[in-house]
Amino acid sequence: MRPDALAQEVAKLLAPLIPEAAGLDVDAVAALLTPPPKPELGHFAFPCFRLAKALRSAPPKIAAELAAAIAALGDNPLIATATPAGPYLNLDLHAHEAARHLLAPWANGQRPAFPSSGPSSNQKVMIEYSQPNTHKGFHVGHMRNLCLGDCLVRLLRATGSEVVAANYLGDVGTHVAKCLWGLEALVSGDPPTQARGEWLGQVYSQAAIQLEDWDEAGKAGDEAAAAQYTAARERMSEILRGIEARDPAYHDLWMRTRQWSLDEFEQIYAWCGVEFDRVFYESEVDEPGLKLVDEFLAKGVFVESRGAVGIENPEIEHMPFFMLRKSDGTGLYATKDLALARMKFEEFGIDRSIYVVDARQSDHFKQVFLTLKKMGFDQAELCEHVGYEMVELPDGAMSSRKGNVILFRALREQLGASLEANYFHKFTDEWTREQIDTALHQVSLGAIKYGMLARDNNQKIVFDLAKWSDVQGGDGGATLQYVCARTASLLVKAQNRGMTLDGAVRSGERATQAGTLTEVAERGLMQALIALPGSIAQAAQSLRPSILCSQLYAVAKAYNRFQQECNVIHQDDPEVVQARLLLVQATREALSWGLSLVGIPAPDRM
């Protein structure tokens, strides 16, 4: 028995009562069952609209007839009452029996089964995400991509796909030259011994600003600035050529500094609990990209235009020419993307290829996929771009010129400090430093990941550090974690009083006593749990983690209400204790598992 099987059980009873003309089998009926708007109305509602046409009857009439048919069944193990309410048939279950199908599997460590016929199951999927540039800063904006990609990896794995989590690091290109130029032109003294990746990013920003200033001043007539700008550009070309030619003077410096960034990324991923199966580097597809241009120019797929090489894609009307080699003979981002795609297809036999990249690149990926198709890669059909909107700050977009970029380390430290000052300081006498640090880490992750994932992909996110670390409750990661901690704490307290969940109840062999779990708050919580597997399936199928986040929040909210209204431990009736312990245990398992799919740890105490 799986925790998502309750609807199926109900459908088994209901389906035979529906006239055959409607053409609904058990699965179809189960799929139609929805939660009623209020828990008091029942555990499930069956909408009769779909049957109206086939049965040539009005939905309210069908609902009434079905209610009568269920009443005629007489005593029934699962459905207590069936009440027609307009076009809906509301089904109220014997709660203790429903619990045996719903709560016991959760409590017993079972997980929902997802249909193997779904589009996303039994497939080998590559998800490319994160893709930071070396020699540049890693900031809150990068966190959205990281959280989203990681969550999709977890969701697709949970729903039956084999996933290759891939990263694609930007270790070559003009930004590297800018940074290395800045290093020699603007920096005096030795690099720091700590956090050198971050420092490199700051050098890059400084260089970018300086170059922009010279460029602007030059254009405004400042000849000295113009000369400096030209000289710097020439120097950057030299640096790039030196790296490419493997001139030790440049190549070694590049490798050394590149490693500083890579080390930093490693630390960030470790802190975030993110792991990659395969890391690609731009530097490894640079040359293959250019070779590929020659190859497909010779084949006539690509064409020359104004000294550059590209492909005509008139299908994309507003940007019909897709450039793949500049007139100076060098490649572009797009060139490397084609070579990378080919590498992915050849190295892994993937059935689906997902690119998590911000929404501004959507035209770019239309071009890439269309071009791949014209190059003869049928796998282009399997490629999809998952776009998402930007992360902004309360005072607008992040910019190094404005100096309002929040780098990863600052994010981690400020969030931690803020959470400690707001909340965790009260544990200083009670907990060890290590315990507090662990909790701070967990709750920081909850705040960041939930904040990044609870909003739809195509909504902008405003990152306001003060708000994100102000855990006054409400709709946030900490609320979900708090509920996990409350369930854990309650179960420990129960155990200390000698109250443990009966093994037979937990396994579902035995139902709890009739009449238990009928309080409104108990029903509400059960309904939130009923809806969880569907939310996971929908989130995975549509690649939108926010759907899962809102259902997890609904579970947390329902639990808080339950714990407020239904005392678990201070009960005279041991059967009530059993029923409620089952509910708490199931909630804990469901919620912590759901959180794990979002990449958020579930603390035992907080």
The number of helices, as runs of H, and strands, as runs of E, in the chain is 21, 13
Residues 43-60: b if buried by 16+ CB within 10 A, e if exposed: bbbbebebbbeebeeebb
Closest CA to 415 of 455, 384, 393, 446: 446
Contacts of 375-382 with C-beta under 8 Å, sequence gap 24+, read 375/296, 375/301, 375/338, 377/341, 377/342, 377/345, 379/341, 379/345, 379/350, 379/353, 380/341, 382/350, 382/351, 382/352, 382/353
Q: Is 462 in the site for RNA (CB under 7 A)?
A: yes
**Separation CA 82–CA 265 (nearest Å):** 57
Determine, following the binding rule CB under 7 A, whether residue 415 of this chain makes contact with RNA: no
Q: Which is nearer to RNA, 1 or 17 (CB)?
A: 17
Find the length of the chain: 606
Per the DSSP assignment, residues forming a β-bridge with 90 are 45, 83
Residue 404 binds RNA (CB under 7 A) = no
138 binds RNA (CB under 7 A): no
455 binds RNA (CB under 7 A): yes
As given in the structure block, the two tokens for residue 500 are 């443990």
Q: Which stretch in 8-16, 99-107, 249-257, 537-545 sits in contact with RNA by CB under 7 A?
A: 537-545
Q: Does 87 bind RNA (CB under 7 A)?
A: yes
Residue-wise over 237-271: b if at least 16 C-beta within 10 A, else e?
eebbebbbeeeeebeebbeebbebbbebbeebbee
Site string for RNA, 50-69 (x = CB under 7 A): x-x------x----------
Residue 338 contacts RNA per CB under 7 A: no
Tell me the window of 250-258, 287-295, 299-307, 593-601 that interacts with RNA (CB under 7 A): 299-307
Q: Among 100-108, 154-162, 218-226, 564-572, which window interacts with RNA (CB under 7 A)?
A: 564-572
In the window 160-189, what residues touch RNA (CB under 7 A)?
A: 170, 173-175
**Chosen residue from 7, 11, 14, 45 binding RNA by CB under 7 A:** 45
Q: At what angle do helices 223-244 and 196-219 cross, to 10 degrees?
A: 140
Q: Does the protein bind RNA through residue 566 (CB under 7 A)?
A: yes
Is residue 326 within the footprint of RNA (CB under 7 A)? yes
Three-state DSSP class for residue 383: strand
Which residue among 37, 77, 192, 515 contacts RNA (CB under 7 A)? 37
State the Cα–Cα distance between residues 558 and 526, nearest whole angstrom: 9
- Site residues for RNA, 221-260, by CB under 7 A, read none
Contact between 566 and 519 (Cβ < 8 Å): yes
Complex with RNA: residue 27 or 509, whichever CB lies closer: 27
200 versus 350: smaller Cβ distance to RNA: 200
Q: Considering only residues 346-375, where is the footprint of RNA by CB under 7 A?
A: 359-364
DSSP-assigned letter for residue 138: -
Please identify, among the stretches 99-107, 247-255, 370-378, 418-426, the one whose residues bind RNA according to the rule CB under 7 A: 418-426
- Cα dihedral 356/196/448/470 (nearest 10): -150
Which part of the chain contacts RNA (CB under 7 A), choosing from 6-14, 67-75, 93-101, 466-474? 466-474
Number of residues that bind RNA (CB under 7 A): 92
What span, in angstroms and rounded, lies between the C-alpha atoms of 151 and 153? 5
In DSSP terms, 170 is beta-bridged to 133
Q: Which of 219, 241, 401, 493 binds RNA (CB under 7 A)?
A: 493
CA distance 201 to 408: 11
432, 459, 495, 500: which one binds RNA (CB under 7 A): 459
- What mask, x for binding RNA by CB under 7 A, covers residues 425 to 444? ------------------x-
Query: At closest approach, how far in Å is the CB of 249 from RNA?
Result: 22
Closest CA to 444 of 460, 468, 421, 466: 468
Q: Is 567 in the site for RNA (CB under 7 A)?
A: yes
**Near RNA by CB under 7 A, which window of 243-251, 284-292, 371-379, 549-557?**
549-557
In the complex, the smallest distance separating the C-beta of residue 211 from RNA, rounded to whole angstroms, is 12
Q: Please, is 353 exposed, middle or buried when counting C-beta atoms within 10 Å of its C-beta (0-12, 13-18, 19+)?
A: buried
- x-or-dash string of contact with RNA, 198-217, rule CB under 7 A: --------------------
The residue range among 86-94, 197-205, 209-217, 271-279 that interacts with RNA, by the rule CB under 7 A, is 86-94
The rounded distance, in Å, linking the Cα atoms of 279 and 342 is: 15
Min. distance of Cβ 192 from RNA in angstroms? 26
49 touches RNA by CB under 7 A: yes
State yes or no: residue 296 binds RNA (CB under 7 A).
no
Return the residues of window 95-134 that contact RNA according to CB under 7 A.
133
Minimum distance from CB of 295 to RNA (Å)?
19
Nearer to RNA, 124 or 326 (CB): 326
C-alpha distances in angstroms, 376 versus 301, 508, 542?
A: 10, 55, 28
Q: Which is nearer to RNA, 124 or 605 (CB)?
A: 605
Query: How many other β-carbons are positioned within 10 Å of the β-carbon of residue 68?
Result: 12
134 vs 228 by CB, closer to RNA: 134
